Structures are given as C-alpha cells and as structure tokens.
Chains A and B, each alone.
Chain A
Amino acid sequence: MPSKIAQIRLVSSHPEVYEPCDDSFALVDALLADQTNLLMHNPKLCMEVGCGSGYVITSLALVLRQGACGAYYIATDINPHAVRVTSETLEAHGVHAELITTDIASGLEERLAGLVDVMVVNPPYVPTPEEEVGRDGIASAWAGGENGRCVIDKILPVADKLLSDRGWLYMVTLTANNPSEICLQMRDKGYASRIVVQRSTEEENLHVIKFWRDCDDNHDILQANEVGAVNKTGPARIFESLLSQFPGLLFGRNNSSST
C-alpha cells in the first residue's frame, strides 16, 4: 500500500533549505487529522506558500490522492534552492505540483484570486530582529521579525484574496505569534477558525490553525442585526469559542518577551 504521507528518506535536501522539523510534522499531522473532511471537500486547487523541502505539499498530494480528487497543486518559495528541492521530493513520491520561485504569491494574486480551495502555510514564525526578515537562503524559512509576525501578516491578506468561497487555510503558528489575535483578525475578514493540532516541544508551543469562510455565521450576524436581537449569535459566539481555544493567551501573553 502506498505511503499516506511523504517519507523522510525520500525528502530531498540542500544546505540552504529548511529540513522537515516539528513544525512540518505538526502541519502534516493536522492534514491527516482532517483527512476525512479534506476528501469530502474535494478541492480542485491546492496551494502551499513557502514549500521548503516539499515535505508538506507532497504529503497533501498523497493524502488527497486516496480520494482521486484530481486536484491541481501549486507551491511557491522565495528560496530558489527550496523550490528545486521540492521538485525532487515530489518526484521521488510520484506526485506533481507546479512550482514557482516567488515572494509569497507574487505574480499569482491577480489571476488566481478566489480559486484556491486549500492553502497550507508553515510561515517563518520565529521572532527575530526585523532586519533578518527577507534574507537570502535558509534564514527566509524562519526569520519572522517582531513577534514572528512580519511575514505572517503579509501572507494573511494574500490568503484571503486567493481562497475560494469554500477555501480552507491551514497555518502553523507559535504562541509568541499571538495566534488568538490572528484568529480575531481573520474573524473580521469573515473566517471561523479552530486549532487542529496543538503541540508543545522543548523549544516551542505550536498550533496548527484551520481557517474557513464562515458563511453561516455571516448569515447569523445579518439576521441578528435585522431583528435587533441581543442573543449571543454570530460574533459573540465565535469570540467565545476563540477564547476557549486559547486559555490564558488572549490577555495574558501579549506583552511577554521572547525567552
């Protein structure tokens, strides 16, 4: 039986390319945990921003292959070495993705707008001095600037533009990125969210968050406004669910410095 996800021994490497690590494994575990939903979702177009070694996009293609979705895969990375390594990793597993060397989705934003059904992102989330962001080579895989949010905050509006009406986004975040705030920002753009995988390692506390356009809740908000209801519908309900997902985070950790 073919492997369900990418095999480490078949993942290609290069000194300037980030190798699969805890964050990559957490993201693929999230895709596996959500596999039934993904297969039912039957995405036509899937995309990874920042594909690195290719471990994640290859795993996504393998996870979806079991449903014979016939999806189209696009992966980008700002690091030309990474894109080449990804192409080798894909080939070693017998799957295909279209690869583009570019910054986030530059060059795709116009024509690909509203077409992406599933997007996966393991962004450079490590808090670093701002000047380390955007450097060549492997540093681009982790350097995230203040609170590790510099690149994340550029990716989110692009994701919002590219995702289809039924689009899903899976993104890795670190506690230092203030994920609850990210969820609230995305809620303002009309997305619901939930944590699919939460993992604490010696060094970091990772969340893989899934975002999706929440048409039903928008509907609720409209209705609530129309009838002047004061019940907890729409935003209040989502807000409460966010708070329950991030106990102690929302108000407790905003000012914590990196250790």
Chain B
Amino acid sequence: MRLLTHNMLSSNIKGVTNGFPLQIEAVKVVEKQVDFNPDFLKNMFSKVDWTALAAASKALGYADLPEAAGADMLDSDDFLRRFHHALLQLHLEEGALVCPETGRRFPVSKGIPNMLLHEDEV
C-alpha cells in the first residue's frame, strides 16, 4: 500500500466521526521504483492531506518531508523528489492501520489493507 492510498482511507466503522488519518503500525516497509512524474505530483498535491502524509511517511521511516508544505514549493525539484518518494515509492507491506477514534486495527497483509467490517460495526 502506497501512502497516497493511505491518504485516501478513513475508518469506516459506523458512528465514527473522526476516522482520518488512520495511524500506521509498520511491520515491514518496502521501497519500489516508480517513474517520476512531476505533473501527476502537482495535480495530486492539492488533494493530499499534507499533515497526514508527513506523519505516515515518518511512521514508515522516511522523515525527509517538511512538516508543512505550500503550493509554492512545487517549483522545487528537490521537494518534488521527496514528495514523490513518500507518496508513491514507500509501500506498507505488512502491518496495520488503526482507527484514531476507536483503536480498531485494520490489518495490512502483502501490501493489501483489509477494511472489511464485522457485523456489529456496519
């Protein structure tokens, strides 16, 4: 699971109002080469919750993102490379996503999060 996907996921348990971002418990992290595409990054920047991305990136062991970011930084190649690495190249392979409100753990196995709910959570 890439961190862009993490950035798009919230806890889906019935009644939860504050389900984003899911906290990350990282057991295994892998890095995969992805083509650098500045246009895609610039397009996605406005859709990404930066605070959540920076925290998730840190949880995966990559602390080279600034705490806050503005659109003016998209002119910097160095910034884009870091953004690219955090957003697309880091994969959470094994671990869990944890609902910030209830502490419910959603397992991530072989890079695939399982968001299926139990009957009493729907």
Same complex for A and B? Answer: yes
Q: Which residues of A contact B (CB under 8 A)?
A: 44, 70, 72, 74, 78, 80, 83-84, 87, 96, 98-103, 106-112, 115
State the CA gap A211–B74 with chains docked (Å): 34
State the CA gap A48–B39 with chains docked (Å): 23
Answer yes or no: B30 CB below 8 A from chain A CBs. no
B10 touches A110 (CB 8 A): yes
Chain A residue numbers with a CB within 8 Å of B115 are 100-103, 106-107
B4 touches A100 (CB 8 A): no
Q: List 10 A-B contacts (CB under 8 A).
A: A70-B37, A70-B39, A72-B44, A74-B8, A80-B114, A84-B110, A102-B115, A107-B12, A107-B115, A111-B9
Query: Provided the pairs A107-B12, A111-B7 are in contact, do residues A44 and B40 lie with their beta carbons within 8 angstroms?
Result: yes
State the CA gap A103–B5 with chains docked (Å): 16
Which residue of the partner chain, among B40, B106, B111, B113, contacts A70 with CB atoms under 8 Å? Answer: B40
State the CA gap A96–B88 with chains docked (Å): 11
**Which residue in chain B gives the minimum CB-CB distance to A72?**
B4
Chain B residue numbers with a CB within 8 Å of A83 are 112
Answer yes or no: B78 CB below 8 A from chain A CBs. no
Nearest first, the 6 closest Cβ-Cβ pairs linking A and B are A102-B115, A107-B115, A70-B37, A107-B12, A101-B114, A98-B5
Type the 1/0 row for B31-67, where 1 means its CB is closer than 8 Å to any CB of A: 0001101011001100101000000000000000000
A44 touches B1 (CB 8 A): no
Chain A residue numbers with a CB within 8 Å of B43 are 44
A107 touches B11 (CB 8 A): yes
Interface SS, A side? loop
A98 touches B39 (CB 8 A): no
Q: Which residues of B contact A (CB under 8 A)?
A: 1-2, 4-5, 7-12, 19-20, 34-35, 37, 39-40, 43-44, 47, 49, 106, 110-117
B10 touches A87 (CB 8 A): no
Say how far B111's CB is from chain A's closest CB, in angstroms.
Answer: 7
Query: Provided the pairs A72-B4, A108-B9, A110-B20 are in contact, do residues A87 and B111 lie with their beta carbons within 8 angstroms?
Result: yes
**Which residue in chain A gives the minimum CB-CB distance to B48?**
A111
Chain A residue numbers with a CB within 8 Å of B1 are 98
Say how far A91's CB is from chain B's closest CB, in angstroms.
Answer: 11
A101 touches B112 (CB 8 A): yes
A78 touches B2 (CB 8 A): no
A72 touches B40 (CB 8 A): yes
Which residue of the partner chain, among A101, A109, A111, A115, contacts B113 with CB atoms under 8 Å? Answer: A101
State the CA gap A84–B114 with chains docked (Å): 11
State the CA gap A103–B110 with chains docked (Å): 19
State the CA gap A83–B5 with chains docked (Å): 15
Chain B residue numbers with a CB within 8 Å of A96 are 34
State the CA gap A74–B4 with chains docked (Å): 10
